[in-house]
Each structure stands twice: as C-alpha cells, then as structure tokens.
Structure 1
Amino acid sequence: MMKYNFDEIIDRRGSGSVKWDFGEKLKAMGFTERFDDDTLPLFTADMDIAVPPPIVNAMHRTADQRIYGYTMAPPAYYSAVIDWFERRHNWSIRQEEIVFCPGTVHAVATAIRAFTEPGEGVIIQRPVYYPFTAEIEGNGRVVANNQMILNDEGYYSPDLEDFEKTAQKPENRLFILCNPHNPSGRIFSNTNLKELSRICAKHNVLIVADEIHGDLIRKDSEFVPLAKVADSTGHILTCTAINKTFNTAGLAATNVVISDPVLRKTFLRTLGNAMPSPFTYNAVIAAYNECEDWLEELKIYLDGTIDWVLEFLSKEMPKVKAFRPEGTYILWMDFRGYNLAAEEIRKRIYVDANVILESGTMFDPDSGSGFERVCLASPRPMIKEAFERIAAQFTE
C-alpha cells in the first residue's frame, strides 16, 4: 500500500494555473477552439498532483518568517544539490560549478545570448520541446535542425551522420540536447551521448544539456547525465531542476552545472543578478533532502498510469502508435493510422472530446502533423476519463 495518495484530485482553478485558468487566452492564441468547465487540459508539463509534504512544510515555515527580503542560497542549498546527484546518479559536482537560474528556459535563453551571435545557428533535434525554437528565433538566431530518426516501432534515435554535418558548419555554435527527450520520452544511450559530445568538442560546438526530466524514469530504464559519460566536460552546460521531479515549476529553480570557469563567467555575466527567493531555496533543500521516498512512489504510480494508457490504446485505439517513454511523464502519440487530416484529429480531441493536448507540429513544424503530446502526470481517474472521451470520438 502506498504512503501517498496520488489519486487525489485537487481543483487548481483560481490558482493562476496556466492550463486551468486561461482558457480564453488559449482560445485567442489558437491553441484550442474550446475551453469550458468540462475541459480536461493535459498539455503543460506540470503535475496535477500535490507536491511532497516536506516541501509544503518548508513553504509554511518560510511564510511564517513574515519577511521575504533579498536572499542568497545558503551552504545547505548546495549540499542538497551535490548530495542528490552523487546519491541518485553517481555524478560528482562541486559547489562552484553550480549556477542558480530562475527556470530552465531562462537558462537556455541565457546560453543562446552568451555563446552565439545574432544570425548564428543553434542545433536542436526535432521533434523537440518547442520553447527551444522560440528562444532561438526570438533572440535572432537560426534553428539548425538535426532530425531525429523514427523507426516503425515508434522509437526515436539521433541521426549522428547528419549531426556531424550540421555541427561542422562554422555558423552552428551551440547544441541544445534534451535528455530524456521531450516529447518522445527516449533516453539517449551512453554510446550516443559520448558520440554527440565528441562531435561537438571536435567542432567547437557548446552543449546545453536539458536534463530536468532525468529523475523521472521508468523502473526498467537508466538515466546517465551527459557530463558524467562524456570524455570531457569543458564544453557542456547541464540544466538540472526540482521543477519536474517534485512539481514545483512555479518556484523557478534551475541549477546550471558549468565545469569550465571561463564559460561559467561568461554565462553569469549574461545572466545578471539572479537570486533564489527564500521559498525557492527552501523548497530545493526540502525536496532533495526529504522527498526521496515520495519520488519512488510517484515513479511507481506514473509507471502504472503509462501502462494503463498503452494497454487502453492497444485495445480501444489500435491505430494509434505510442512508444513507452523511458523517461518523463509525457506520451507522444501517432494518430496517422487513422488517415485523417490533422485538423480533423484536432477537432475530435480538442473540441468533441474536450481534452486539450499539444499538436505535433508545435514540436516539429515539418514532420509533426498527426502526432499529439499528452502529459500523464495527473490523477489516474482524470487520465482514464480523458482517454475514454478521446476513444469515443474515434470509434469506427
């Protein structure tokens, strides 16, 4: 029997939640055509699951101090981060290598501005988390796409030959690695990681490794940080966070690990004065020091939800292809077997079923049509209702 109740449904309306409280804005943006009191939003990658009690308690203790002035992360903050990665990933990092940043997208944008010039290229691997594209183009840089290879079973892998051709172009100076891969949930093999790192080092391409889903892996999978497996780390910046692991995205707590002091200085100069709030640093300390048992139960729960969804799809919607994600709580679904236009697929899900997902073209404008991303980090009763609604719109 589980200690924690992940089936508890918490009403998030009125909390400022991006996915629950801004339906009119989502409609105005063209994200969905329908949003009402019956809508089930399963798009933004945060959980509809309560954070671990020790984090809640830490927030209460911080609030009770009644003064929320300027703060800096204390030694206990760095010890919690260092101990976590040593204990969970056998990865040794030093305090001076850790740079606090208010969010992972913020960290990626900072790296783009710090290490590239307008008009230069940034390599990404589509389909991939679409804010990468937004930050590249929004900062006047150019997307250099190294398309992931999709096999018949729904597994993605990097195209290493094309990657080297892309990396050797002198205008491409930065590579954003997403591992575990979002949206496919694929964990890059050690062999692929070593080769990607080798190619980048050879061609003087820096790597920003987004590894914030690295704690959320399946029981039969293993995640290894790039900086641990790479032959050298001087060209690697690793983004880590409690945000996905413990459902604290609103606290904006990302730690960027930069071993090279020159790169670190350049990154800090571009970042500016970034300090964690007292709520943020206390949440990090509580998460890494007191919430390991909660995470282990959460992983079991997520595995069960993913297994249920995949079995449901195989029985009720066999034309949908979905690869069991090795990491993350995200599922990438291929609806192309229905031979329907993307607009019709979208209408049946978003309007008729009243479930909001994320269209594949957001992650891959050229090859994403017919795919949908769903976030499965909600109480299982909510997930079951959503998929039953969707299946009802695809009966033949």
Structure 2
Amino acid sequence: MKRRSVIGPAALAMATALLFGAATAAQEEEPSPGLQQLGNDLFAELLFNNQGTGFAIACSVCHAIGESVPGKPERYYADHTPTSLTANRETTERNAQTLADASRAEVFGWDGAYDSMEDMILDKLVGKQYGWSDEDRDAGMDNATYVLLNEGHNAISGVPYLDQFQEVYGLDLESLPRPEVAAAAARALADYTRTLSYTMTARWDAFAEQNRFRKQPNDGEDMLNYAASIESRIFNQEGRNLIRRPEGFTETAYEGFKTFFRAFDVESVGNCVRCHVPPTFSDYALHGTGAGDFKTPPLRNLARTDPYLHDGSAATLEDAIRAHMALAEAADSEQEGVDPLFGEINISDADIEPLVLFLQMLEEVGPDNFRHYLINFE
C-alpha cells in the first residue's frame, strides 16, 4: 500500500531528524507540564484550518473529550457523528477513532495509510480535513507556519507558541525552514497524543485481578495459546466455585466474557480475542472486510465512542456484533477480501446480549472509583 506524505521525503526526513531526539525524551519520561500545555493548545487550535471556509476545525472538534457539546453524550476522544465534517463542510469517509493508546499501532489511520503518527497529523493540518485541497497544500503549510510564528498564542494558555516550542523542544521556530515549522507542530501533537492512554480501571480489570486471569498475553504469545490459558483458568475457577464478579458484572455479562474469549468449541465461539487483544482489546492490525482492509479498533469505553466500525455504520453494539456475524458468513463462503479469521466466529442471536453486556464491562471508571469494584462483589 502506498503511504501518504504531505511534504517531500527529504524535507520530512530532515524535519523528523531535527526533532527526533527531543521527542524521544518526551515519550520515555512522564509528560512534562510544558508538553501537556503545548499539546492542549495545538489540539484546540482553530486557526490551522482554511479561514475562507467559514467553518472552524480543530483536533478537538472530531476527537472530543468529556461533555464537550451541551446535550450530547460524553465522548472519549471521539466524534458524535458516524463520519466527521471537514472545514469545507464535506463528510469524511471514516469514523473518528478514539486517540487513547493510538500510539501502540505500527501504522496509522483506519486503513493504515500512514507510517507514522506525525505524517498522519501533518496530512490533516494541511489537507482536506482542514479545508485545504490538494492544490492548496502549500498554502496550508504557509498558514500553519504563520499561525505558529505570528498569531502568537492560543487562547487556552495565553503562552506564545514560540516560547512553548523553545521550552519543550529547545527549538527556535523562527530559524526553521517552512516545512520544519509545520512538522514541529505535527511532532508536538504526536507526542501529546502519545500521552493519551486508557486508565485500565474497568470492571473487567477488577474481574481479572480478582480471579487471577492474565490481563494480556505475554510478548510474542500466540493468541490461541492465550485464549486456551483463559479457558483453562475458567474451568479451574468454576470447578472450585471460586469465580468472583465485581459489582455490576452480572452472570449474563460473565457468559459474554466466556464467549468473547472462547476459541475452541462448537457454539458460542466469539473468537473475539484473536483480534481484540487485551489490554486495549486491539491487535492494531489490518483485517480484510470485503470493503477494504481496516485496523482493529480498541474496545474500551465504547459507550463514549459510538457509533462504530470504520464508517460509523453501526449505531449500537448489537449492530456491530451483527456486522461481525455477517463477516463470518462472508468468510465461510470465501468472499474475496474477507479475512478468513472472521470465519472462526460461531455465534447466534442468543450470544448478542451477553457479548454486549461484557463489552460494557470495559467501561473505565477512573482510578478513584476503581477500588470500589475490587472490594465489592455480586
């Protein structure tokens, strides 16, 4: 697959090399207050878009967090709509995925079109998402440079971008060539995105701790082996009547958990864990759907990231599960472009409610509330 690049390879490589050392240091340590502030400012910046469109776009518009829109459900770095609007008020082709732990992926975008998060972000800043046509990309680059150098500061922190980049990366933006200024913004946004992670505080996490289920496979472990280890642990715990379920983790949700992890049987075989790998419940790999190859989405906090699938066509979890049941049939009939792994799903209508209830057990409650589920059981 051809990867997208928005500036010449040499310029992008030079810009990346210039910033790489500082960026690596920022990733390996706890994010600094300076990076958090710079990231927050850039994430909410409304001036990168083509001002001639009359419609303001920022990262935070499509990747909303919390109750960002009055009267709308809480979001978790996701949009409220099946597909997002560009600055030109055109509809995109893809649903805005959550950004939590997005840096775990090796390729980026639903279709894996980008080799790096930086390249993907830069493509958004100076491309169609922000109202710049293919012919206008140079103008988009000039605009991003102007905003960073001349607009002074974002309204959130009130601190000039020039000062922020100097503090966080030791970069003098005014001395950089134009492509490197825009690349610096993409690098800072990528580093900020790398700080966005799941809290691992769902009832599933409490359930796994209480019953000593391995919460993720070992490095390099085959997923069938991991699934087998979970099934073995279930058999052991049930045989001694030792299964403990945190408050709200119902018997039906428990049945859904078993279906989700089950890879060996003749019925109620979700085989979900083959692609939706803990702890984030994604392998971040591309799988054929018959409509293209798309990356496995993570499954935590689904109540705050609906609608689902690459095009937002599944309004509910039940819709998403039924879409996978249809893919299982397509794989069984060897439909072109459908990953054979889908053919290993063998579930019926009776399995849908338990699976939905289990997926709801992946909703995180935050560190302060997590202890409640560790000590209160059904």
TM-score range with shorter-chain normalisation?
Answer: under 0.3
Q: Work out which structure has the larger RCO, using CA pairs closer than 8 Å and 6 or more positions apart in sequence.
A: 1
Please give the TM-score of this superposition, normalised by the length of structure 1.
Answer: 0.26
Please give the TM-score of this superposition, normalised by the length of structure 2.
Answer: 0.27
Bigger CA radius of gyration: 2
The structure whose residues are more often helix, as a share, is 2
The structure whose residues are more often strand, as a share, is 1
